[in-house]
Structure 1
Amino acid sequence: MMEDALQRLHLEMEDDYAQRCQLPPEEAQDLLLQEEVFDVPSGYTSREYLNAESATMYTAARNRMSSSLLAEQWQARQSLPLWRYRQKIVDMIGQNQVIVLTGETGSGKTTQVPQFVLEDYELNGRGAEVRVVVTQPRRIAAISVAERVAWERGEPLGRSVGYSIRLESVPPRPWGSILYCTTGVLLRRLQRRDGATGISHIIIDEVHERDLETDFLLIVVRELLQSHPSLRVVVMSATVDSSIYDRYFNNCPVISVPGMMHPVQVFHLDDLPHLMGQYNFIVPKFPMARITDEEEVDTDLVANVISWIAEEYSQTDGSILCFLPGLDHIIMIKERLQKMPAGKKMIILPLHSQLPAGEQRAAFTRAPAGLRKVILATNIAETSVTIDDVVYVVDSGKVKEKQYDPSLNMNILRVQWTSQASARQRQGRAGRVRAGFCFRMYTSQVFCTMNEHQVPEMQRVPLEELCLQIKAIASAAANNTSVSAGPSHSNIVRFLSKALQPPNIHAVHAAIRLLKDLGAIDMQENLTPLGMTLAKLAVPPRFGKMLIYGALLGSLEPVLTIVAAACFRDPFVAPINKRDEADKMRASFAVGLSYGSDQLALVTAFEQWTAACSQGQGFVFCERCFLAPATMKLIAGMRQQLRRTLLEAGIKEQFIKPTSQGSMHVARSLLVAGLYPSIAGSEFCRESRGMKNATKHAYRWRLGFKVNNGRVLIHPTSVISEKQLNPASHYYLVFQEKVQTSQVFVRGCTLLPALPVVLLSWRVKISSEPPASELTGDWMVLEVEGWLKFLIDRRSGSVLLELREAFHRILGKWASGGIHKDAERYLVMVAMTLLEATCNDMFLVDTRGVMN
């Protein structure tokens, strides 16, 4: 069948390939999700219209200044430290293309600087000419700050103030306005040919956080200034040391604004026995050696300290803000507090970037009389948001970060110590309203060993999505003769060398190699048609290719769910007192599958949740099945966005429209395209039970998986159980992330047969290692990623390699809008038939059982 398909394909390849590979229309290439918030409708740009609107805005501004209805807002604004610098800030912005503004958290820079600019234009009769875009690294900050500024101006959102984040936006009017948006929204706008058109001011906030997108935006904006001399840029940081930023922008002017801080008394872990010695429940769960281990969080100790604060300071008000590394720790401590006597007088609110906006807003409201508000937050509460009633801070000292190893092309998610700068930011949250207290769950010695600043994200995460955006912006610039920044974008390494702190060169080369393997760029680093499509999907390129393949192979529905879920936290939750029950419920979603797969178990759960929602039972279903309703809603919203973006990126509607069909077998196989090179091969080994005088009963078989750099174990939360697998068989696994705790685990796992691994992996070649000499017949060894090897007869192997090459080439062409030929359709149908088979390894043999 494979040979027949290839022969039919070769007959048609005599046609001119260039004629058959048609690009989507230029208009389709320019369609990007959510950039419509920047667009100015026709008729709103004439000088007459702008003059008339400016006159209206001038009158409104004068009335606003004298309105008794806004007395509370004016009083609040004028009490901020930044207010005294209002005229100086406006003058410096007007006189300089770039300025750096530093101000401690609570000084008012995020809410006031954009208003200063807009009000200055309004009162000078030019209000309609200004359009301020303020970037925020987090969704919740963009929303909460926009709401605050709209309130200060006495307006509803959507008039002169709005926001835009992924999946949600309330755009302001297209003239005389302030838009708060996440950094990615502005970056995607700048991929368009008219990227900065219509924007008068760009304010880049929270640059001290050094997240990947903000550091990237700094490069793009610095390049943009050369071709847009009227553009004004304000770089804002909560840290006092601004030298790195003003040097980056040619020694631009700096304004430093003091904060409005009350004294904060700091207690370290080594102070607690003296401070709380009479309370025996404060005894730490772990010995000191483990408490000072950066990967441990003593949740009992943290919960007990919070409880002690509530009891000790019961006669005073003020919220308690606790910093934790992740959502799992937030859930555990919330459950512990709810069981304590003091918990009955608490209102416990989580604050995490993946929570829906409605739940996040609750953290900013005052607690009802007689209750103490306790906010359990990640580092989102360090600087991005302001909770103005916090008096007590409990700092675990930990942060959850991804670390990228370019030599392995793999992410490792781990809990580690935060930096000294971040610890000081956390401490400062306690001194907003009056003298406060900070309780650090680590010793003063540990604090002294922390890094001074957090490692920039650009130096510790994969860079392929960033590199693809660089090429997309370069492509837009090259197609716009008014933009002179294009040539400097042409070389990825050279472009990233202009970063504030450039990334590891090996990480950049790994990203470039990955994009070439994907077919997103050619050998000269030019964007291919497939790369143009991938750049518009706003997901990691590997997931983007998986989406495109899913659409073209008729399996988009399950793939949409897999990719959407990968953008958020695991929706399965496991209450501490029902963990076994929750694990069994998760595993139940995989019962109907003929193979173990965490991703497809989630697809099944999502489908059942959707059905329950259609009957008004969505929340009940989540409660029964240990699913987070908020995350399920986010996944549903992301699915809609991804479907819409595929259409806007040029994929034909016939492949994208919702259907009830979609092969789970094909979707499982496509995980190789989406998660490669995170592939492992099974490796059962005998493990000691720790018994003396070992006998045959002193050992057990333990399923491990070999990866290209060692051995990993499947995470206990996986639906894949060792008991279901045969130690005598070989298994292949793709996984979503590698987590290092006491051991190295992989999470988000799917078992696969060998054929998808060979057919959909990117680097497959004939091994130079000869087959075993005792084998009869003509054999070859196929090598995947240089370490995973399969034995196959030479004729089948040659056909399989040719099928593989043609399959990838055809799908790449289809994804770019190429015409579908009959021979191409037939070949893809053959490949799908092979992927559909549940047992398709009959001609591929793992060499571990054959080779010498």
Structure 2
Amino acid sequence: MRAKKMYSEDVLSALLSPEPEQLNLDLVYELLAHICHKEPPGAILVFLPGWDKISSLHKILSGSGKFPESRFLIIPLHSMMPTVSQKSIFNRPPPGVRKIVIATNIAETSITIDDVVYVIDCGKIKMQNFDTINNLCTLKEEWVSVANARQRRGRAGRVQNGVCYHLFTRIRESLLDKYQLPEMLRTRLEEVILQAKILQVGKVEPFLQKVIDPPNPRALDLSLKLLTGMNALDSDEQLTPLGYHLANLPIDPQAGKMILFAAMFGCIGPVASIAASLSFKDAFVIPLGKEQLVDKCRLELSKGTKSDHLVLANVMDEWLQAEREMRGREFTSRNFLSRNTLELLKDMRRQFTSHLKDMKFLANSSVNSPDSNVHSNNIALIKAVICAGLYPNVAIVKQIKKRGKLGNVSVELFTPEDGVVKLHPKSINEKTKDFESRFLVYHQKLKSSAIYLHDTTMVYPFALIFFSHGFTVEEVKSNSTLIIINDSIRFSCSRETAKLFQVM
């Protein structure tokens, strides 16, 4: 290109720099300005990898002064956004107003916006993968596949001629994978293993090696280890009674174990709400610019329990009560909740209890049956049931540091496998100033810019002792004993107390 003098030296130097490989929102802004002021009318669809980039670009456009509301309709499109505001993406704006939709890959295939003429493809996508070396899930920006790029290009000009701008070089395009990795190669395998065991295929590794894209043996070993630790499989890789029941539930094994214990301990209502939310998504929506208000609502709905999981249960209980009192819409609007999501979660709860009735764990399929909810007001018991389902996902609080003059805090905690980890900013515990217990159980651990714990609940030592996968007792003094759950979790108590735990 330099010999043919096709491009200026500035352009060639920029192409040789590693910086074009990074997502440049200033470039997106300049391209949008060019299209809006130089090109014929038509809606613009911008593909960005995630919420953070959508929010940042929206702020850039709103604060620039070049995209006034009288002439531009800017619509963010993301699963966390309110559905009502996103419905406007399908409406054609009035004459003289240009529509700009900023979306994730949800706009690739799930929806079609008829009046889109221009597409800006940043070439990045957020993908969840399973890191077998560190035994954790990751959520990072990756390059799209050729198939993704084609889908994005196909969004331009669905009913008229269109233009697609791919913001990556031809060299980068030549290096793109044809397709994204199959899901079996980038997720945990516990559910796959349980389903295979129900089919009585024998040892699972030889069976899965026969699929078109066999999973990583290390991923398989980690999932087998977790299922064995949960007592879902025995040492010979056979289904235990618990494993058989978990395999028959349409839910991941840890959430499944949670609702089985809830059925046995008489607290199915709140725990079914928690399990449904963990399996699908929580009902909160986050309008741009109102993130702090949403966090405040979460904190209020936690009612001091120091549990993100109980927020999910309280949301469902209070919404159902509001519906009975004909104020459901006011409740969802005030607390930034999606009514559609709540309806889906309500239906999932019914499905869970129906399965539990068929499995003889419940006398009837009603989520609100008094017989199935004798202890649904016992917060300590519900936390113990959550612990039973989520163990061994335990993090330990090391210290709580104060930040700045406003009294903000930073919670320092670690897990035995990863060392230092962080609470996700969305967690109510991220801003907690004191914990009565040093132990938190969590549902998901994701590595992005750091290792973040999502959806945490503070639990007490008794719950860990009773619902861990076994403990050992070691005498240290004449009347002092250690209860050892693992290398990082151990409790000192009297010999009589330790004997009591062993008997129970």
Structure 1-normalised TM-score? Answer: 0.50
* 2:237 corresponds to: 525
Aligned counterparts of 1:580 and 1:308: Cα–Cα separation in 2: 34
Aligned counterparts of 1:300 and 1:667: Cα–Cα separation in 2: 49
Q: Secondary structure at the match of 2:425?
A: coil
Aligned counterparts of 1:759 and 1:471: Cα–Cα separation in 2: 28
* 2:213 corresponds to: 501
Is the contact between residue 409 and residue 432 of structure 2 (CA under 8 Å) also seen in structure 1?
A: no
- Measured against aligned partners, the alpha-carbon deviations of 1:613-642 in whole angstroms (never above 9, x if no partner) come to 223332322222222333323322322222
Q: CA deviation at 1:331?
A: 6.3
Q: CA deviation at 1:743?
A: 3.0
Q: CA deviation at 1:604?
A: 1.8
- Measured against aligned partners, the alpha-carbon deviations of 1:472-523 in whole angstroms (never above 9, x if no partner) come to 3x15xxxxxxxxxxxxx22211111012111111211222232233333344
Kindly indicate whether residue 482 of structure 2 is the aligned counterpart of residue 780 of structure 1.
Answer: yes
Q: Secondary structure at the match of 1:683?
A: strand
Q: CA deviation at 1:401?
A: 2.1
Give the alignment partner of residue 712 of structure 1, picking from 421, 424, 427. Answer: 421
* 2:497 corresponds to: 796
Cα gap change, 1:625 to 1:513, in 2 (>3 Å): same
Aligned counterparts of 1:521 and 1:316: Cα–Cα separation in 2: 61
Q: CA deviation at 1:558?
A: 0.9
Cα gap change, 1:447 to 1:337, in 2 (>3 Å): same
**Structure number, greater radius of gyration:** 1
* 2:379 corresponds to: 664
- Measured against aligned partners, the alpha-carbon deviations of 1:260-283 in whole angstroms (never above 9, x if no partner) come to xxxxxxxxxx99x99xxxxxxxxx
Is the contact between residue 551 and residue 655 of structure 1 (CA under 8 Å) also seen in structure 2?
A: no
- Measured against aligned partners, the alpha-carbon deviations of 1:634-654 in whole angstroms (never above 9, x if no partner) come to 322322222223223443325
* 1:644 corresponds to: 354
Is the contact between residue 413 and residue 738 of structure 1 (CA under 8 Å) also seen in structure 2?
A: no
Cα gap change, 1:338 to 1:602, in 2 (>3 Å): farther
Is the contact between residue 394 and residue 440 of structure 1 (CA under 8 Å) also seen in structure 2?
A: yes
Aligned counterparts of 1:519 and 1:761: Cα–Cα separation in 2: 11
Q: Secondary structure at the match of 1:724?
A: coil
Q: Which runs of 5+ in 1 are unaligned?
A: 1-269, 275-287, 476-488, 690-696, 804-852
Q: Percent identity?
A: 31
Kindly indicate whether residue 92 of structure 2 is the aligned counterpart of residue 367 of structure 1.
Answer: yes
Aligned counterparts of 2:354 and 2:36: Cα–Cα separation in 1: 49
Kindly indicate whether residue 49 of structure 2 is the aligned counterpart of residue 325 of structure 1.
Answer: yes
Q: What pairs up with 1:152-167 in 2 under 5 angstroms? A: none
* 1:316 corresponds to: 41
Aligned counterparts of 1:798 and 1:654: Cα–Cα separation in 2: 38
Kindly indicate whether residue 450 of structure 2 is the aligned counterpart of residue 743 of structure 1.
Answer: yes
Cα gap change, 1:560 to 1:392, in 2 (>3 Å): same
Aligned counterparts of 2:340 and 2:28: Cα–Cα separation in 1: 26
Aligned counterparts of 1:354 and 1:615: Cα–Cα separation in 2: 27
- Measured against aligned partners, the alpha-carbon deviations of 1:81-120 in whole angstroms (never above 9, x if no partner) come to xxxxxxxxxxxxxxxxxxxxxxxxxxxxxxxxxxxxxxxx
Is the contact between residue 543 and residue 675 of structure 1 (CA under 8 Å) also seen in structure 2?
A: yes
Kindly indicate whether residue 379 of structure 2 is the aligned counterpart of residue 678 of structure 1.
Answer: no
The higher-RCO structure (CA 8 Å, 6+ apart) is 1
Q: CA deviation at 1:556?
A: 0.8
Cα gap change, 1:303 to 1:738, in 2 (>3 Å): farther
Q: What pairs up with 1:88-127 in 2 under 5 angstroms? A: none
Cα gap change, 1:445 to 1:788, in 2 (>3 Å): farther
Q: Secondary structure at the match of 1:577?
A: coil
* 1:732 corresponds to: 439
Q: What pairs up with 1:828-843 in 2 under 5 angstroms? A: none
Q: CA deviation at 1:657?
A: 4.3
* 1:614 corresponds to: 324
Aligned counterparts of 1:495 and 1:630: Cα–Cα separation in 2: 40
Query: Quick one: which amino acid aligns to residue 264 of structure 2?
Result: L
Q: Which runs of 5+ in 2 are unaligned?
A: 1-6, 12-16
Cα gap change, 1:354 to 1:502, in 2 (>3 Å): farther
* 1:417 corresponds to: 143
Give the alignment partner of residue 194 of structure 2, picking from 468, 473, 477. Answer: 468
* 1:759 corresponds to: 466
Cα gap change, 1:470 to 1:322, in 2 (>3 Å): farther
Is the contact between residue 554 and residue 655 of structure 1 (CA under 8 Å) also seen in structure 2?
A: no
Cα gap change, 1:714 to 1:290, in 2 (>3 Å): farther
Cα gap change, 1:716 to 1:350, in 2 (>3 Å): closer
Q: Secondary structure at the match of 1:573?
A: coil
Give the alignment partner of residue 399 of structure 1, picking from 125, 130, 133. Answer: 125
Q: Which has the higher helix share?
A: 1
Q: CA deviation at 1:432?
A: 4.5
Cα gap change, 1:751 to 1:538, in 2 (>3 Å): same
Q: CA deviation at 1:567?
A: 2.6
Give the alignment partner of residue 438 of structure 1, picking from 164, 178, 194. Answer: 164
Aligned residues: CA RMSD? 3.8
Is the contact between residue 549 and residue 670 of structure 1 (CA under 8 Å) also seen in structure 2?
A: yes
Query: Quick one: which amino acid aligns to residue 706 of structure 1?
Result: F
Cα gap change, 1:655 to 1:327, in 2 (>3 Å): same
Query: Quick one: which amino acid aligns to residue 490 of structure 2?
Result: K
Is the contact between residue 713 and residue 744 of structure 1 (CA under 8 Å) also seen in structure 2?
A: yes
Q: Secondary structure at the match of 1:639?
A: helix
Q: CA deviation at 1:402?
A: 2.0
Is the contact between residue 557 and residue 658 of structure 1 (CA under 8 Å) also seen in structure 2?
A: yes
- Measured against aligned partners, the alpha-carbon deviations of 1:194-231 in whole angstroms (never above 9, x if no partner) come to xxxxxxxxxxxxxxxxxxxxxxxxxxxxxxxxxxxxxx
Cα gap change, 1:308 to 1:755, in 2 (>3 Å): farther
Deviates more, 1:529-538 or 1:442-451: 442-451
Query: Quick one: which amino acid aligns to residue 624 of structure 1?
Result: R
The count of residues paired between Structure 1 and Structure 2 equals 481
Is the contact between residue 737 and residue 748 of structure 1 (CA under 8 Å) also seen in structure 2?
A: yes
- Measured against aligned partners, the alpha-carbon deviations of 1:510-540 in whole angstroms (never above 9, x if no partner) come to 2223223333334443334433332232110
Aligned counterparts of 1:436 and 1:755: Cα–Cα separation in 2: 63
Q: Secondary structure at the match of 1:526?
A: coil
Cα gap change, 1:736 to 1:431, in 2 (>3 Å): same
Is the contact between residue 401 and residue 412 of structure 2 (CA under 8 Å) also seen in structure 1?
A: no
Query: Quick one: which amino acid aligns to residue 790 of structure 1?
Result: F
Q: Secondary structure at the match of 2:345?
A: helix
Is the contact between residue 647 and residue 656 of structure 1 (CA under 8 Å) also seen in structure 2?
A: no
Is the contact between residue 646 and residue 656 of structure 1 (CA under 8 Å) also seen in structure 2?
A: no
Aligned counterparts of 1:748 and 1:291: Cα–Cα separation in 2: 36
Aligned counterparts of 2:189 and 2:70: Cα–Cα separation in 1: 47
Cα gap change, 1:623 to 1:355, in 2 (>3 Å): closer
Cα gap change, 1:671 to 1:455, in 2 (>3 Å): same
Is the contact between residue 771 and residue 791 of structure 1 (CA under 8 Å) also seen in structure 2?
A: no
- Measured against aligned partners, the alpha-carbon deviations of 1:307-354 in whole angstroms (never above 9, x if no partner) come to 6534433x333x433323345655665677678735545566666678
Q: Secondary structure at the match of 2:428?
A: coil
Is the contact between residue 45 and residue 118 of structure 2 (CA under 8 Å) also seen in structure 1?
A: yes
Q: CA deviation at 1:405?
A: 3.2
